């Protein structure tokens, strides 16, 4: 009997130790993960019974603020700019949670970061509730220009400072009004959210950094850089004036735009956006192509201070060349296994502008307290080394020729040297996507930009990147550079 009792005692003690160990793990080791789990309703509830800081554009416009309510929550978010910043600022909803800057800078907006900052103790002792205002790098004036330039067409415009990674504008169309999501009326929120989810145009999708598309010929910037870096081509390389290129392992030819013959030197092929040349280069590089495109950020996602983060832009994988050479030919022209976010293609342009270095993209600029004093700043940091300064300089010359006398002449700006690359990307299910990436001024770059017009916009099947996307980029760059 005593032996049986002892066994039961051992089991009970063992179970108690397991319970204590589990509680210790949950409260100590895993507490941060649980506290920040989006399914934890306490996160949302604890944020509604206190004031919350403002979100402000770089040019001083209020994008989000808290207003008092007479209900159990006490405060509700208000979004004065409506749909203009919906995909970056995001929303705070007691019903469905939060997204965008509202979520990624939550600790700053609610003052928890300030409360842990010893430099702020004197102001805390003076009383009152401390909250942080988040000042973004995005400019409201340029965001409006981007919206107007898209003229209702589906697509996005992304502008980056290539030297810092600061995002100056990031507008997606269609967009949505986040205000109904901030309502405390649960049935109204659910009805609005269901309508957004059911809309076939998917206006809640932040296309600029969460959707991937074939980048088409804009990817030839990456292909050219890779070919120069691997020694498979030089600026003096000469290619025959072919109408198409047929890769190994297939009988399906890759044709030039309009089935026209093109070739010549590498810079001439780049200026003409000659598919036959760049498909050939994709095969000639083979496995060496993959590390080069990964240097530009493909097959990984850039870290960005928004929630959810950026989607992964993809390309061919290591080890796939031997059995799938045609996919490398297609990758050379930005088709097949290559798919990119518009943000990623803006980073490609920024890499060339910044002598081969890609900086981490960010939308936050600084956090201030209620007295306007700066509590913290976003410090620029490098993300990838895409290419060498020498290759970046060579590609700058190539991209200048595209705008000066090639497929991107619609992006020319009087008195400003613009370096760019057009793209017309075939995609199943409809007309091609029209792309344009660029940076300016070419000699001392201040801004890098990517524009995508889905399915050719108002032009449809007749769209090209030079015809549809390049003029949009020109309008935005003109506003940025103060050119009428």
In the three-class reduction of DSSP (H, G, I as helix; E, B as strand; rest coil), residue 47 is classed as coil
Nearest to 440 by CA among 415, 464, 457: 415
Helices (H), strands (E): how many in the chain? Answer: 19, 19
Q: How far apart are CA 67 and CA 75, in angstroms?
A: 5
133-136/55-56 β-pairing: parallel
CB 228 within 8 A of CB 221: no
| Contact call for residues 171 and 81 (beta carbons, < 8 A) | no
Would you say 300 and 224 are in contact if contact means Cβ atoms under 8 Å apart?
A: no
Q: How many C-beta atoms surround the C-beta of residue 230 within 10 A?
A: 16
**Rounded distance, CA 368 to CA 155, Å?**
33
What is the pairing mode between strands 254-255 and 244-245? antiparallel
Task: Report the distance separating Cα 298 and Cα 283, nearest Å.
Answer: 18
Contact criterion met (CB below 8 Å) for 408 and 436: yes
32 in active site: no
Beta bridge partners of 367: 134, 376
Placement of tokens 């895409």 in the chain: 386
Q: How far apart are the first and last CA of the chain?
A: 97
Largest CA distance in the chain: 99
In the chain, % helix, strand, coil (3-state, to 5) comes to 45, 20, 35
Q: What is the Cβ-side half-sphere exposure of residue 117, based on CA atoms within 13 angstroms?
A: 21
Q: Are 161 and 445 in contact, with CB atoms under 8 Å apart?
A: no
Kindly give, in sequence order, each residue whose CB lies less than 8 Å from that of residue 38, ignoring residues fewer than 6 positions away: 97
The catalytically annotated residue of 93, 217, 225, 327 is: 217
Q: Checking phi first, is residue 259 left (phi over 0); if not, alpha (psi -120 to 50) or beta?
A: left
Catalytic residues: 217
């Amino acid at each position: 009997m005593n032996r049986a009792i002892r066994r039961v005692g051992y089991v009970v003690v063992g179970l108690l130790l397991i319970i204590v160990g589990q509680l210790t793990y949950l409260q100590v080791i895993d507490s941060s993960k649980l506290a920040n789990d989006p399914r934890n309703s306490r996160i949302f509830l604890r944020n509604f019974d206190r004031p919350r800081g403002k979100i402000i554009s770089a040019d001083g416009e209020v994008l989000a603020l808290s207003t008092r309510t007479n209900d159990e929550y006490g405060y509700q978010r208000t979004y004065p700019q409506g749909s203009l910043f919906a995909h970056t600022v995001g929303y705070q909803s007691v019903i469905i949670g939060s997204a965008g800057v509202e979520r990624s800078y939550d600790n700053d907006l609610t003052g928890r970061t300030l409360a842990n900052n010893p430099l702020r103790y004197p102001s805390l002792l003076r009383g009152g509730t401390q909250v942080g205002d988040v000042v973004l790098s995005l400019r409201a004036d340029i965001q409006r220009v981007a919206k107007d330039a898209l003229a209702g067409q589906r697509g996005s415009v992304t502008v980056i400072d290539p030297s810092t990674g600061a995002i100056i504008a990031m507008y997606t169309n269609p967009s949505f009004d986040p205000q109904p999501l901030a309502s405390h009326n649960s049935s109204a929120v659910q009805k609005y959210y269901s309508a957004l989810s059911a809309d076939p145009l998917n206006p809640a999708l932040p296309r600029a950094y969460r959707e991937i598309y074939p980048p088409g010929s804009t990817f030839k910037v990456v292909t050219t850089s890779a070919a120069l870096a691997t020694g498979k081509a030089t600026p003096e390389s000469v290619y025959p004036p072919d109408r198409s290129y047929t890769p190994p392992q297939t009988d399906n030819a890759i044709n030039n735009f309009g089935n026209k013959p093109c070739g010549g030197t590498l810079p001439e092929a780049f200026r003409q956006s000659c598919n036959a040349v760049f498909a050939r280069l994709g095969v000639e590089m083979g496995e060496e192509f993959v590390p080069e495109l990964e240097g530009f950020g493909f097959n990984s996602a850039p870290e960005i201070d928004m929630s959810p983060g950026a989607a992964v832009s993809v390309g061919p994988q290591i080890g796939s060349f031997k059995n799938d050479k045609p996919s490398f030919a297609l990758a050379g022209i930005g088709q097949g296994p290559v798919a990119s976010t518009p943000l990623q293609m803006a980073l490609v342009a920024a890499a060339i502008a910044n002598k081969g270095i890609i900086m981490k993209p960010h939308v936050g600029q600084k956090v201030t307290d209620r007295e306007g004093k700066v509590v913290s700043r976003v410090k620029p940091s490098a993300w990838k080394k895409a290419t060498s300064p020498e290759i970046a300089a060579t590609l700058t010359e190539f991209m200048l020729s595209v705008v000066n006398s090639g497929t991107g002449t619609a992006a020319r700006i009087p008195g400003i040297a613009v370096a760019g690359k057009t793209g017309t990307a075939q995609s199943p299910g409809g007309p091609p996507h029209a792309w344009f990436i660029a940076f300016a001024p070419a000699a001392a770059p201040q801004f890098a930009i990517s524009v995508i017009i889905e399915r050719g916009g108002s032009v449809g099947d007749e769209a090209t990147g030079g015809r549809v996307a390049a003029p949009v980029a020109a309008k935005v760059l003109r506003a940025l550079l103060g050119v009428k």
